[in-house]
Structure 1
Amino acid sequence: MADRVAGVRLAPYTTLRVGGAARAFVEAHTGEELVELVAEADRAGEPVLVLGGGSNLVVSDEGFDGLVVRVSSRGVDVRDEGSRVVVTAQAGEDWDALVARAVAEGWSGVECLSGVPGLVGSTPIQNVGAYGQDVSQTVVGVRAYDRRAGEVLDLDAEQCGFAYRHSAFKDDLARYVVVSVTYALEKSEKSGPVAYKELAAKLGVEIGGRVALHEARTAVLHLRRGKGMVLDASDPDTCSAGSFFTNPVLDGPEAAELERRAPGFPRWDTPAGAVKVPAAWLIEHAGFPKGYRRGPARISTKHTLALTNPGGLGVTGFPGDPEALGSMSMPAPFDGPATAADLLALAREVKEGVEAKFGVTLVNEPVMVGLRL
């Protein structure tokens, strides 16, 4: 088993490049090692933070007073079942690399999730989704260590409790450690039905149309790059945790109140009768445009939902490349990196501004470690 290291800075392991040091840090190179490390710490009463790709994480400036277990397990198993393939990937596999392989192999169902940063293990926790697809459409099973029961469980999709950007795992983040995820993908050179208006327009097809897998991937990557949502060591806007807020889902009275305050607001009516509202629209119309700054923290110049740490490029590399610490020049005009406190101050200003103007409470999407919005 790998040795522990004391005092490792966590900022280089996150895409926001914020966060203090871990009291102890260790890498788990297999699923078995991951379970063993977490179980051993639990028996000793030691706090544990399981760290994946760091793309959906905000760590406090004080760091983590416990053991950080970085998930580095690798391995992909593919089982051919005629019209589909069943793919089981270890939690430490890079998500976009798996999507790229699916596109190359002719496995349909995750192509619209191209460019999403992070590891496989995080996908069921957040029910990762983009451009009309989410992983709940393809996940058929998750192997997870239940820290409360002290056993490894094999959960089917129904037991995962998937909902919009949510799952049973997210209900209690400290309980489960994802070991591997199994996806069922259609054997087809065509994408799934295109369900997102912006992507359909980019591809020149009607909603519900299908295109070649590589065309879907290329279009999604182009759209994401235009919003600063593909990791790029030369682009300060990608020093973010992606969308910082989820799109609010309002019940009838809440939607009526918003209609009173903002007649004709953009909306999606859900089959259950709720109303989903674009958080980006609320933020912009509450007075927070792209590029809005509070100290060294900034709303992305490309995407209103992303809060960024532009100066972070000057002091860290990307997750998985901590050796790049200090190797990049500081991008002007930023004098230095933001702290977690700076990011949270900007997030609170945006949240309070939206609530004051529209009566809608925004909910953060990234996981907070030692912080509360």
Structure 2
Amino acid sequence: MSTVETVGRNSLREHTTLRLGGPARRFVVAETTDDLVAHVRKLDEEGEPVLLVGGGSNLVVGDAGFDGTVVSIATTGWSDDFRTVAAGQDWDTYVAATVAAGLGGLECLSGIPGRAGATPIQNVGAYGCEISQVLESIELYDRRDREVRTVPADELGFAYRTSVLKGTDSGVVLSVRFRLADDGLSVPVRYAELARRLGVDIGERVPVARVREAVLALRRGKGMVLDPDDHDTWSAGSFFTNPVVPEAELPRVLERIADVVGAEAAVPKYPADGGVKLSAAWLIERAGFGKGHPGPGGRVSLSTKHTLALTNRGGATTADLLALARQVRDGVLERFGVELRPEPLLVNCEL
């Protein structure tokens, strides 16, 4: 096992895609699954606070940092059949490999930053596909009984952008196994924007490489593919989840929206468990927060390409980012009576 305690490595801004966050007291790197389990088990025995970090793409860390040990999950690789992947493997590199092998299932999730082990925690999704639709099982280290076990997908309590693993540190994902099709075709295209890009009807299956290329182009146009020279990608992706409004409350919400933007407005809405899902980006824009809307001192802003991304324009602090997030959240609530909730994990900070 290796422990790294240099100041540069301890700064969490070096380990998040937002490039924000204060120092950690200690920093350790786990390059094998055995090391990962051993590090976490030892730290738990010592009573040490632990923060698990993969790609840092869904993480907002306070300016005071983390008073404990950060465990960087750096395990890599996948099985010969491509279906099982290590938790620390860069996600898009893995997706590219499955596409190159002609395996379908993950192509709509191309270009998403981060590591493979985080995808079931968040039930990551994009362009009509969610991890829950293709996941078979995970290998998990349970910190409560200190055992490693296989957990099937149906025990993970998946819902929109969540699972039983989200918001708890009781388990450590070690590897992830997927159900992938081997006929070279994608899952049925379900997302209208992607279907238009591909020139196909909803429900059609398309060669996986075509879908990956189209998804990457769409994501680049929204600043959602990491680029160190593009501050629009210095973000945690979509900062707010699309709000799900219970069916009973929907008429009231739609009436309020109509009062603000006009009865003729076509409000984007989609079926969802427990109600109807509205577009957070649509609400944000119509609450007066356009692309590029600045936060404190211009050090943060909404992305110039996508209103759902809050971005670090350079020299920002986490406090700056959260001030902008509160402004957007409160503005949408005031205008439409809809509360937006953050998608990233907030560490030592809050809205």
Cα distance in structure 2, aligned partners of 1:338 and 1:148: 38
Cα distance in structure 2, aligned partners of 1:290 and 1:201: 23
Please give the secondary structure, in 1, of the residue aligned with 2:2. coil
- The alignment status of 1:353 with 2:348, answered yes or no, reads no
1:137-183 per-residue CA deviation (whole Å, 9 max, x = no partner) reads 1110111111122211210000111111111101x421111111011
Cα distance in structure 2, aligned partners of 1:291 and 1:271: 30
Matching of residues 55-94 of structure 1 within 5 Å: 55-79=57-81, 87-94=83-90
- The alignment status of 1:39 with 2:41, answered yes or no, reads yes
- The alignment status of 1:159 with 2:155, answered yes or no, reads yes
Q: CA RMSD in A?
A: 1.3
In structure 2, relative to structure 1, the CA distance for the partners of 1:124 and 1:282 (3 Å cut) is: same
Cα distance in structure 2, aligned partners of 1:217 and 1:272: 28
The CA deviation at 1:254 is 2.4
Q: TM-score, normalised by structure 1?
A: 0.89
- The alignment status of 1:50 with 2:52, answered yes or no, reads yes
Q: What residue number does 1:213 align with?
A: 208
Q: Which amino acid is the alignment partner of residue 280 of structure 1?
A: A
Q: What residue number does 2:312 align with?
A: 309
Q: Which segment is superposed worse, 42-51 or 184-193?
A: 184-193
Matching of residues 103-182 of structure 1 within 5 Å: 103-170=99-166, 172-182=167-177
**Identity of matched residues, %:** 52
- The alignment status of 1:3 with 2:27, answered yes or no, reads no
1:55-109 per-residue CA deviation (whole Å, 9 max, x = no partner) reads 0000111111000000001221134xxxxxx611110111101110111001000
- The alignment status of 1:340 with 2:326, answered yes or no, reads no
Partner of residue 194 from structure 2, selected from 196, 199, 221: 199
In structure 2, relative to structure 1, the CA distance for the partners of 1:342 and 1:158 (3 Å cut) is: same
Q: State whether residues 58 and 369 of structure 1, in contact with CA within 8 Å, keep that contact through their aligned partners in structure 2.
A: yes
Cα distance in structure 1, aligned partners of 2:270 and 2:22: 42
Please give the secondary structure, in 1, of the residue aligned with 2:174. strand
Q: Give the paired residue count.
A: 341
Q: Which segment is superposed worse, 272-281 or 343-352?
A: 272-281
Cα distance in structure 1, aligned partners of 2:266 and 2:219: 25
The CA deviation at 1:267 is 3.5
Cα distance in structure 2, aligned partners of 1:343 and 1:272: 31
1:278-324 per-residue CA deviation (whole Å, 9 max, x = no partner) reads 0001111111110000121100000000000021xxxxxxxxxxxxx
Cα distance in structure 2, aligned partners of 1:369 and 1:273: 28
Cα distance in structure 2, aligned partners of 1:243 and 1:271: 18
Q: TM-score, normalised by structure 2?
A: 0.95
The CA deviation at 1:24 is 0.2
The CA deviation at 1:5 is 1.2
Q: What residue number does 1:279 align with?
A: 280
Q: Which amino acid is the alignment partner of residue 271 of structure 2?
A: T
Q: State whether residues 6 and 23 of structure 1, in contact with CA within 8 Å, keep that contact through their aligned partners in structure 2.
A: no
Q: What residue number does 2:242 align with?
A: 247
Q: What residue number does 2:261 align with?
A: none
Q: What residue number does 1:320 align with?
A: none
Cα distance in structure 2, aligned partners of 1:21 and 1:97: 29
Matching of residues 225-264 of structure 1 within 5 Å: 225-263=220-258, 264=265
Q: Which amino acid is the alignment partner of residue 158 of structure 2?
A: F
Q: What residue number does 1:315 align with?
A: none
Q: State whether residues 6 and 22 of structure 1, in contact with CA within 8 Å, keep that contact through their aligned partners in structure 2.
A: no
Cα distance in structure 2, aligned partners of 1:213 and 1:251: 36
Cα distance in structure 2, aligned partners of 1:131 and 1:292: 25
Matching of residues 15-30 of structure 1 within 5 Å: 15-30=17-32
The CA deviation at 1:268 is 2.9
Q: What residue number does 2:178 align with?
A: 183
Structure 1 segments unaligned to the other structure (5+ residues): 80-85, 312-336
Cα distance in structure 1, aligned partners of 2:19 and 2:3: 24
Q: Which segment is superposed worse, 247-256 or 257-266?
A: 257-266
Structure 2 segments unaligned to the other structure (5+ residues): 259-264
Q: Which segment is superposed worse, 200-209 or 147-156?
A: 147-156
Cα distance in structure 2, aligned partners of 1:145 and 1:247: 31
Q: Which amino acid is the alignment partner of residue 69 of structure 2?
A: L
Q: State whether residues 136 and 162 of structure 1, in contact with CA within 8 Å, keep that contact through their aligned partners in structure 2.
A: yes
- The alignment status of 1:365 with 2:343, answered yes or no, reads yes
Q: Which amino acid is the alignment partner of residue 33 of structure 2?
A: G
The CA deviation at 1:12 is 1.3
The CA deviation at 1:207 is 0.5
Q: Which amino acid is the alignment partner of residue 118 of structure 1?
A: G
Q: Which amino acid is the alignment partner of residue 276 of structure 2?
A: V
Q: Which amino acid is the alignment partner of residue 39 of structure 1?
A: R
The CA deviation at 1:129 is 0.6
Cα distance in structure 2, aligned partners of 1:367 and 1:3: 25
Q: State whether residues 11 and 24 of structure 2, in contact with CA within 8 Å, keep that contact through their aligned partners in structure 1.
A: yes
Q: State whether residues 93 and 119 of structure 1, in contact with CA within 8 Å, keep that contact through their aligned partners in structure 2.
A: yes
The runs of at least 4 aligned residues of structure 1 exceeding 4 Å deviation read: none
